[in-house]
Structure 1
Amino acid sequence: MAKNHTLFPFILITSLFFLWGFAHNLDPILIPHLQKSFTLTTVQATLVDSAVFIAYFLMALPAGFIMKKYGYKTGIIAGLLVFALGSFLFIPAANTQQYIFFLIALFIIACGLTILETAANPYASSLGDPASSTQRLNLAQSFNGLAATLAPVIGARVILTKGYTAAQLSTMTAEGRQLALAAEAATVKMPYFILGSILVLIAVIFAFTRLPAIQTNEDHVASKHIFHAFKHRHLAWSVVAQFFYVGAQVCVFSLFILYATKAGGITEVKAADYLGLCGLAFLIGRFIGTYLMQHFSSARLLAVYAVMSTLLCVIAIMGTGMITIYAVMGICFFMSIMFPTIFALGIKELRGDTEFGSSLIIMSIVGGAILPLAFGYISDLRGSIQHGYVVPLVCFLVVAYFGYKGHRVKVKTEKLMVSAIL
C-alpha cells in the first residue's frame, strides 16, 4: 500500500486522523456536560456542533489556498497549531464560565481541523498507488474510528463523573450552585491542555520530517478558480452526499448520550460506555469495509451500507428500550466507510482541480452544523428524541443514491458548457 519511503510519512498522516477523531468524539461528552451546566435545551446544546462545523464551511476555501500556495506540509503544521490554540483556550473558557467562550474555543479547534482534513485526506489518498487510494484512505480513517472508541470512555470518566447531578444542584444555594458549576467547568481544563501539548509536539515532528511530494501526471494543470472544479459532476454529487452524511454522523454520535439516556433509560456514564462501543463498531466496520473493497466495488458497498443504515434508523425511531441502542450501534458500523469513500470517489480523476475539489467536499461538512439543529428541533417539537432520527434516515437515502449512481465520473467539457449557454 505504501512503499518504504512513504511508510513513515503515512504513519504521521494517519496520526492526524486519530487526533481529530479524538477531538470530535469529545463533543458528545461536552454536550450533556454543558447542557447541565448552562441549563440548555436540546437545540441550544447542538450549538456545540454548529460552532464546530460552521468552521469547516468558512475555513475550507482558505485551507485549499494554503495547500496550493504553500504545500501540504505547511498546511498540516498550521492546522496542528491552530488546533492546539483552540485546545488551550478551554482553560480561560472554563475560568469565565460562559457558554459563548466554549463555543469560540470549539470554533477555533475546528478551524485547525478543517486545515488538517483538507490536507490529510487527499494526501493520504495520493500517497501511493492510485488504484488503492480508496482503501488507503479508509485505512487511515480507521484510526479515526479508534479515537471514536476511546474518546467517549476516557472523556466520560474525566469530565462527566466529576460533575453534580441535577438533584444535587437543585438543593444548593445560589452561591453554592455557582461554586459547584465552576468546579464542574474546570474538569475540561486538563484533558484539553494535554491534547494541545500533544498537538504542538506533533507539529514539531512534522516540521523536521521530509514529506514526499504527491504524485501527479504532467497533464494535471492546476485550476485557476474553484468554480472550474464544478465541471466534474461526480464531485458536485459528492459534495451533496458528504453534506448529508456528516449531518447524519453528527446526529448519531453527538446526540447519542442524550438519546440513550432517554430511549434506553440508562445513566450518562453508561451511555458514554455504549458510545465507546459505537466507536468500536465504527472501527470494526471500517476495517471490514476496507477488506471488502478488495473484492467489491467501493461505490456499491457504500450504497448497501447506506440502505442498511436507513433500515436501522426506522428501528431507532420506532423501537423501545435497549433495542434502540443496539440499532444505533449498527448504524455506526454501517456508516463507518462513508466519509472516506465519498471523499475518495469525489476527488477521483479531478487532476488539477484536486485541491479545490477537496476544499469543496470539506466545506460540505457544514451539514454537521445544520442537520443536528433539525434533529433537535424535531425532538423538542415532538417531545421525543427518537423522532429526531428521521433526519439521519433521509441523509442515508441521499448517500445510497450517490453510491448507486451519483459517483459516476462525468465531466462537463468546455464545448458542452458553451453549447448549453447558447
Structure 2
Amino acid sequence: MNVHQSTTSAADKKTFFISMIILAVMFFIFGLVSWVNSILIPYFKIACELSHFQSYFVTFAFYIAYFVMAIPSGLLLKKVGFKKGILYGFILMAFGAFIFVPAAMTRLYGLFLIGLYSIGTGSAILQTAANPYVTIIGPMESAAQRMSLMGIFNKLAGVIAPLVFAAVVFKATDSDTFALIEAGTLSEIEKNIVLNELIRRVIWPYVILGIFLLLVGIAIRYSVLPEIDPEKINPEEKTTENAPSNNQTRKSLLDFPYLILGAIAILFHIGSQAISMDTIINYAGSMGINILEAKVFPSYIMICTIISYILGIILIPKVISQTTALKFCTILGLILSIGVIFASQTVTLFGHTADISIWFLAALGFPNALIYAGIWPLSIHNLGKFTKTGSSLLVMGLVGNGIFPLIYGAFADAFNLRLGYWVLIPCFAYLVWFAFYGYKINYWRKPKEEIGIIRK
C-alpha cells in the first residue's frame, strides 16, 4: 500500500508540474496578445490618424470582450469542460489575428477593432479557465504565490511584446517620416502611400501569431492537463475566519459581498494598471521622446512588475501573508500615483532625459503585480457551486483595461496628458479600502442567528 501511495503521489506531482507549465504558457500568451496593445495604441494613432481618445479604443475593443463574454465563458466551460473550452478560446484568438490581414489591406480602424474584440473574446475564455485553475490547484494560502509565478510569465511577455512588435514594424528612418507627417508637409497622396505601407507591416506578424495560437490550442486540448471540478476542490464552507457558522443558504453571486467588492477591486486595479502601461509611450512623447525611444518604457513597467512577482514568490506566505502584501501594495500605489501628478524634476535615467513623474508611472508596475494576486484568492474563496460563475465575474473586471484608458484619453484631450492621471487616485483609494476592510465583508447585513447571539 505504501508503494502504491508513493507511486500515486509521484504521478500527482508530475501532473501538477506539467499543469503549471501549461498554465505558464497560457499566461505568457495572455501577455503576448494583450500587452502589445501599449504600442498598438500610438501605432494606430499615427497610421490611422486618430485622436488620443480614438486611439484608446484599441484597449476598449480588446477588453470589452471580457465584460461581454466572461459569464458566457463560464457557462461554456461548464458545458464542454476546461480543455475543450481552452481550444475554443485559442481558435477565437487566432481568428482575430487573421482579421488583421484585411484590416491592414484596407487601413480600416474599425476592422482592426473587430479583430481585437475577437482576440479579447478568446482571451476571456482562457482567463476564465486559467485563473481559478491556478487558485485551486494547490493550497489556498499559497494561491498568491502561484499567481505571482504565473504573473512573471505574463509580464515577461509584456516586456517582450512591445519590443518585438517595434522591431518588426518600425524602421530606423520612421522618426523622420513621422516628423514629416506631423508637420503636414506631405501631400494627401504621399501621406496615404506612407501610411498604407506602415499599416501593412502588421500583416505577417499577425498571420504568424494566428498560426501559433491554433497550434498551441490543439496541443493543450490533447495534453495531459487534467479536467478539474472547482465545486469539489473549493467547497463552500459554513465557517471561515470572516464567516460565522450559520445555515443561511446563498442563492446567487450577490449573496457573497466579498466577491462583488473584489470584482470592483479588480476593475479599479486593472484600470490603473492599463493606464500606466498603455499611456506611458504617449506621455513620454509629451516630453519630446520619440516613439522609437519611448517603446522601451512599457518594458520598464514590466520589469518592475516581474521584480515584485519574484519577491512575492519568495516572501508569500513564509514571511508575510498575501493580505499584508496587498495592503502594502495598495498604499504604495496611491503614493506613486500622487507622485505622477505632483512630482516635477528633469532627470536622466537609463539614457532617457525626462520628467521624474514618468518614472513614478513606470514604478507603478511594482505594486500592481501583487494587487491582482492578492485580490483574486480573497474574492473567490468558499464559493462552492458558484466558483465558475464567480471566476467569470472577476474576469469581467478586466474590462477596466478598456474603460479607464478611454477615461484617461478624454481627460488628456480636454486638459493635458499629465492631468489625466488624476484618474488613478480614486482607483487606488478604493483598493486601499478593499485591502483593509472590504474583503472581510461576508454579509451585506448580519444574519439573524448572529444578531440573536449578539443580543444574548
Is the pair's TM-score, using the shorter chain for normalization, greater than 0.5?
yes
Q: Is the 8 A contact 2:86 2:221 kept in 1?
A: no
Q: Is the 8 A contact 1:72 1:119 kept in 2?
A: yes
Residue in 2 that maps onto 1:299: 323
How is 1:343-354 mapped onto 2 (pairs within 5 angstroms)? Answer: 343-354=376-387
CA drift of 1:300 comes to 2.1
Distance (Å, rounded) in 1 between the aligned partners of 2:251 and 2:148: 28
For 1:270, which of 284, 290, 293 is the aligned residue? 293
- CA positional deviation for 1:155: 1.6
Q: Does residue 1:95 correspond to 2:128, yes or no? A: no
2:266 maps to 242
Alignment-derived partner of residue 177 in structure 1 = 191
Give the residue type in structure 1 aligned to 2:292.
Answer: V
Please say if residues 242 and 342 of structure 1, whose CA atoms lie closer than 8 Å, have aligned partners that are also in contact: yes
Corresponding residue for 1:324? 357
Change (3 A) 1:303 1:19: same
Is residue 235–residue 346 contact of structure 1 (8 Å, CA) maintained in 2? yes
1:160 offset after TM fit, Å?
Answer: 3.6
How big is the shift at 1:275?
Answer: 1.7
Aligned partner of 1:35 in structure 2 is: 45
Distance 1:405 1:218 in 2: 27
Q: Specify the alignment match of 2:136 in structure 1.
A: 126
Structure 2, gaps ≥5 residues long: 1-11, 237-249, 347-353, 452-456
What residue identity is the alignment partner of 1:200?
L
Taking a change above 3 Å as real, the CA distance of residues 128 and 218 of structure 1, as seen in their structure-2 partners, is closer
Aligned length: 411
Q: 1:201 to 1:285 in 2, by over 3 A?
A: same
Question: What is the aligned partner in structure 2 of residue 168 from structure 1?
Answer: 180
Gaps of 5+ in 1: none
Q: Offset of 1:166 from its aligned partner?
A: 3.4
* Structure 2 partner of 1:196: 210
Alignment of 1:148-167 (within 5 A): 148-161=158-171, 163=174, 165-167=177-179
Task: Quote how far apart the aligned CAs of 1:107 are.
Answer: 0.7
- In the TM superposition, residue 103 of structure 1 has moved relative to its aligned partner by 0.7
Report deviation, 1:274: 2.2
Q: 1:403 aligned to 435, 440, 443, which one?
A: 435
How far the C-alpha of 1:142 sits from its partner, in A, is 1.6
Deviation per residue, 1:279-301 (Å, 9 max, x gap): 11111111112322222121221
TM-score scaled by length of structure 1: 0.92
- Rg larger for: 2
- Give distance in 1, aligned partners of 2:103 and 2:290: 27
Tell me how far apart the structure 2 counterparts of residues 227 and 27 of structure 1 sit (CA, whole Å). 39
Q: What whole-Å deviation, never above 9, does each CA across 1:227-284 have from its counterpart, x for those lacking one? A: 712211110110110111111111111111001221x432212211122121111111
Offset at residue 82 of structure 1 (A): 0.6
Deviations 1:365-402 (A, max 9, x none): 222222222211212221x2011111122211111111
| Identity over aligned pairs, percent | 30
The range that moved more, 281-290 or 78-87, is 281-290
The more displaced of 304-313 and 211-220 is 211-220
Aligned counterpart in structure 1 of residue 421 of structure 2, from 380, 384, 389? 389
* Equivalent residues of 1:126, 1:214 under 8 A apart: no
Query: Over aligned residue pairs, what C-alpha RMSD do you find?
Result: 2.2
Query: Deviations along 1:84-111, whole A, 9 cap, x unmatched?
Result: 1111111111011111111111111100
Q: Report the counterpart of residue 405 of structure 2 in structure 1.
A: 372
**Matched letter for residue 330 of structure 1:** A
Q: Kindly tell me: are residues 156 and 74 of structure 1, through their superposed partners in 2, closer, same or farther at Cα, counting changes over 3 Å?
A: same
Q: Are residue 283 (structure 1) and residue 296 (structure 2) matched?
A: no
TM-score by length of 2: 0.85
Q: Is this contact kept in 2: 1:316–1:327, CA < 8 A?
A: yes
